Structure 1
Amino acid sequence: MEVDLINREICYSEFYEKYLVKNKICMLSKSFTDSWPCRKHWVDNEVPNWENLLEGYGEAEVPVANCGEAYFDSHSKSNWTLTDFITYIKEYRKKNYSTEMPCLYLKDWHLFKNFHGSEGMYETPIYFSVDWLNEYWIQGNKDDYRFVYIGPQGSWTPLHADVYGSFSWSANVVGKKRWIFFPPGEELKLKSLLGISSLPRDLGEIDLSSMKIAYFDLIQNAGEIVFVPSGWFHQVWNLEDTISINHNWFNGANVNYIYKGLGKASKEIEDEVSGYGTTLDTEQLEIFLDKEIRDFLRFILRNLVIRVPVTGCARINTIVM
């Protein structure tokens, strides 16, 4: 199955209706990132410019995942300095990505929250700019859902759907990724086709082409941006040393997925805890689920705030009813 590649700017309203409302995957060409400063400062001859990253952020504390150690449906993590991680990745590359060394992946680094002015390294594409989640979160410097990922060749992310049913977008600053996507519901076929009770973490050894299942197999090159719709399970591999910028976000096009996602997460937690012979009240559930996200969704529903695009290119309006 082919993924739509958008090579030129289209009207916001067209993108909103064709991709956001329809929850449809697509990819933006590198022309949308050619002017980003990070594609010059973080890149040298089409490979990561480690020295520039060290100069700007070397002492930063960063979360590093071990791709060889499972932790629930993800990988185990520990905190490093960026200097130590880049020292590791240089050595790993020097040894030709030897299996004698662990395969590590810097993930979910809040660079733009923690380093004032670093937001100028890129520009969120207009199609993803109506972002209720980060607009709300960044106020008061609470937190954000804007991340930098740095992974060597061979690093990967297990099969998953993004948090709470959010949209996400992922831009390759440098490097190459492979993605496998399943439209919502198709991932469930893996259980019956493989005769397993839970979804596999790693699709690497599974021949999907021989199965009656809908999926997309996508290569993302440097500069390209992938739009990940709500509820689409996906797995990602770095085919080269890669740096990417990722946002999780939502707006009026997918807020229903978010609300359902929170409800599903609540039930999963309740079911898991009840297995131990106890129950949770609302206050206890909010300890497990992010209370501020739940409060934010209640705020939206209570006040019926509707944000919609206006017909015409690159124009956005806000209507409060």
Structure 2
Amino acid sequence: MGLKIGGQVERINGKELSYKDFVDNYLVNNQPVVLTGLMDDWRACKDWGFQDGKPNLHFFSTHFGNSKVQVAECGKREFTDQKRVEMSVSNFIDHWLAMSTKDSTDLSNCQENDESLLYLKDWHFVKEYPEYVAYTTPLLFRDDWLNLYLNSYHMHTDPGTYQETNEISCSDYRFVYMGAKGTWTPLHADVFRSYSWSANVCGKKQWHFLSPSQCHLVFDRNLKNSVYNIFDDVSDVKFPGFKKAIWMECTQDRNEIIFVPSGWYHQVQNMEDTVSINHNWFNAQNLSYVWKLLLKDYNEAKEYIEDIRDICEDFESLCQRNLAANTGMNFSDFFSFMTRVALANIIQLYLNFKNTEKQLSSLSPSTQHLILNLLSIKKVSLSMKLVDTESSCSILDVREVLKDPLFLELCRDMEITYQMIYEHWTKCWDPIEHSRINFDELELVDSNLCKMCRSEHLIRLIDNVFSHFGVDSSIENSVLVSQLDELEVFCNDSVV
């Protein structure tokens, strides 16, 4: 019995899609889409492949061959993923070329059994080769809090947790993937339940998607483990709901970008030799997804070691360390992230009102966007307040954050991002203007809010800012937050 296919992923011309329509139709509705026409000027499309669509493997060996990368062995399972090994790009290419010289019978047998099929994954290419501008992130995906933040900060606030060589302590979530025909990725939902986009520079991929409302169907009776390969002979006893699942299917061609929404489980197979560029990201629209996954994983981490609570000197710290290792961040990391991102949005809001805004009735789209961002952070903070997270959060001195050169970098990147989205602004960011901001005039930091260590502090900070700019409850209850309420419907069912 094969998969039940309920429809195909929509395919549209990305050049004809406005940012607002992308948000309204795909981010808010949390729906996948294939976008064409957004890769025409990418250097990667010229350098990394030939005119016939085949990848230029010699180019990678010559220019980037010494890079150390993670490679998945498609025929070997390790826990819930494929076994990973580390090798140089040149060694990976050598293996790929050796496989391509096998005769068709041998190659067919290897691919059928996944033997010797290696898939290069999660190569932090942008961080490793910043001077080589392989592509420009399409405007539709620019509102990327995750990678903007990681341009300036490490995700982990605990120096003991962060290690330069630790794979989980990712420097960014911008990757290159490379694999021969037949390589594949098992069924999964993306890290942090983030959005992702994947652009095929060379080759063709087949995708199978399952919406968040049906994801429970691919889990076992205890909702602990999901199906590994949807094309296996899946046990009806272990996964009783699997055959009821209704999938969306999509074939992604060269020079096409697919948008993967939050919480959608998906399995991907390379139908040809393929090179792709992939980003994970989150923003105001899916921040609730991140928090709910974090809370779920925390409860599981705590339950897993509950039997040693009485003999553990600091049980909560151990839970948080395990959460950071397994999920990629813990409560303290997430709180620090939200606080700094909130402050950066506040700075942009201040500059918008200072330079352009006259009255609330005529808020510009960019100002509405900033307000929505802060409302999203407030909403998640209110949810955090209901959970006993306070002892797990780090202490941030707001005045120190505001003076930190790394924070000014975050402000610069965020300002450029929103100016590009709304005004296609290209002038250089001027840090002098930011240095002249009168934070005392803003009344952001009263004596009780200098030290931020609780979610209620962040809530009060945002409320103070709204009060200062006249963003009252009528604004909070207006159409600006209808998007968040609508998204919450999807989010509630997305984390299994």
TM above 0.5: yes
Partner of residue 320, structure 2 = 286
Kindly indicate whether the alpha-carbon contact (under 8 Å) linking 2:182 and 2:272 is maintained by their aligned counterparts in 1. Answer: yes
Higher helix share: 2
Partner of residue 70, structure 1 = 77
After superposition, the C-alpha distances for 1:244-303 in whole angstroms (9 at most, x for unaligned) are: 100010001101111111111112222223367777734223323124742344416875
Question: Aligned partners of 1:76 and 1:166: how far apart in 2?
Answer: 23
Match of 2:118 among 101, 104, 115: 104
1:259-298 matched pairs, under 5 angstroms: 259-274=291-306, 281-288=315-322, 289=324, 290-291=329-330, 293-298=333-338
**In structure 2, do the counterparts of structure 1 residues 128 and 196 end up closer, same or farther at CA, with 3 Å as the change threshold?**
closer
Kindly indicate whether the alpha-carbon contact (under 8 Å) linking 1:13 and 1:309 is maintained by their aligned counterparts in 2. Answer: no
Question: Aligned partners of 2:182 and 2:304: how far apart in 1?
Answer: 34
Question: Aligned partners of 1:196 and 1:133: how far apart in 2?
Answer: 28
Question: Aligned partners of 1:144 and 1:202: how far apart in 2?
Answer: 28
Partner of residue 152, structure 2 = 139
Kindly indicate whether the alpha-carbon contact (under 8 Å) linking 1:66 and 1:104 is maintained by their aligned counterparts in 2. Answer: yes
**Is 2:283 the counterpart of 1:176?**
no
**Is 2:266 the counterpart of 1:234?**
yes
Amino acid at match of 1:130: D
Question: Aligned partners of 1:206 and 1:212: how far apart in 2?
Answer: 15
Deviation of 1:197 (Å): 7.1
Partner of residue 422, structure 2 = 315
Question: Aligned partners of 2:335 and 2:85: how far apart in 1?
Answer: 30
**In structure 2, do the counterparts of structure 1 residues 81 and 145 end up closer, same or farther at CA, with 3 Å as the change threshold?**
same
Partner of residue 122, structure 1 = 135
Mind listing any 5+ residue stretches in structure 1 that lack a counterpart? Answer: none
After superposition, the C-alpha distances for 1:172-217 in whole angstroms (9 at most, x for unaligned) are: 110111111000031222347x99973210012369xx94422111
Question: Aligned partners of 1:151 and 1:271: how far apart in 2?
Answer: 38
Partner of residue 39, structure 1 = 45
Partner of residue 339, structure 2 = 299
* Matched pairs, number: 315
**Which is greater in Rg?**
2
Match of 1:59 among 59, 66, 73: 66
Amino acid at match of 2:141: F
Deviation of 1:93 (Å): 1.7
> Matched residue of 1:150: which SS?
strand
Question: Aligned partners of 1:70 and 1:276: how far apart in 2?
Answer: 30
**In structure 2, do the counterparts of structure 1 residues 196 and 293 end up closer, same or farther at CA, with 3 Å as the change threshold?**
closer
Q: Which has the higher contact order (CA 8 A, sep 6+)?
A: 1
**In structure 2, do the counterparts of structure 1 residues 114 and 104 end up closer, same or farther at CA, with 3 Å as the change threshold?**
same
After superposition, the C-alpha distances for 1:90-132 in whole angstroms (9 at most, x for unaligned) are: 11122143528411111001111011213x1111111110100
User: What is the aligned-residue identity percentage?
Assistant: 34
**Is 2:210 the counterpart of 1:203?**
no
Kindly indicate whether the alpha-carbon contact (under 8 Å) linking 1:172 and 1:220 is maintained by their aligned counterparts in 2. Answer: yes
After superposition, the C-alpha distances for 1:48-105 in whole angstroms (9 at most, x for unaligned) are: 0011111210111111111111111111111100000000001112214352841111
Partner of residue 278, structure 2 = 246
Question: Aligned partners of 2:185 and 2:259: how far apart in 1?
Answer: 17
Kindly indicate whether the alpha-carbon contact (under 8 Å) linking 2:174 and 2:279 is maintained by their aligned counterparts in 1. Answer: yes
TM-score (norm 1): 0.88
Deviation of 1:22 (Å): 1.5
Kindly indicate whether the alpha-carbon contact (under 8 Å) linking 2:65 and 2:88 is maintained by their aligned counterparts in 1. Answer: yes
Question: Aligned partners of 1:196 and 1:285: how far apart in 2?
Answer: 21
User: Over aligned residue pairs, what C-alpha RMSD do you find?
Assistant: 3.1
> Matched residue of 1:83: which SS?
helix
Deviation of 1:316 (Å): 6.8
Mind listing any 5+ residue stretches in structure 2 that lack a counterpart? Answer: 1-6, 156-170, 235-241, 349-363, 370-419, 425-461, 467-496
Question: Aligned partners of 2:267 and 2:301: how far apart in 1?
Answer: 24
Amino acid at match of 1:66: E
Question: Aligned partners of 1:271 and 1:245: how far apart in 2?
Answer: 37
Amino acid at match of 2:254: A
Amino acid at match of 1:127: L
Deviation of 1:304 (Å): 9.7
**In structure 2, do the counterparts of structure 1 residues 301 and 60 end up closer, same or farther at CA, with 3 Å as the change threshold?**
closer
Question: Aligned partners of 1:47 and 1:79: how far apart in 2?
Answer: 25
**Is 2:218 the counterpart of 1:190?**
yes
Match of 2:32 among 16, 19, 25: 25
TM-score (norm 2): 0.58
Kindly indicate whether the alpha-carbon contact (under 8 Å) linking 2:43 and 2:135 is maintained by their aligned counterparts in 1. Answer: yes
Higher strand share: 1
Partner of residue 84, structure 1 = 91
> Matched residue of 2:182: which SS?
coil
**In structure 2, do the counterparts of structure 1 residues 176 and 265 end up closer, same or farther at CA, with 3 Å as the change threshold?**
same
**In structure 2, do the counterparts of structure 1 residues 281 and 6 end up closer, same or farther at CA, with 3 Å as the change threshold?**
farther
After superposition, the C-alpha distances for 1:200-247 in whole angstroms (9 at most, x for unaligned) are: 10012369xx94422111111111111111100111111111111000
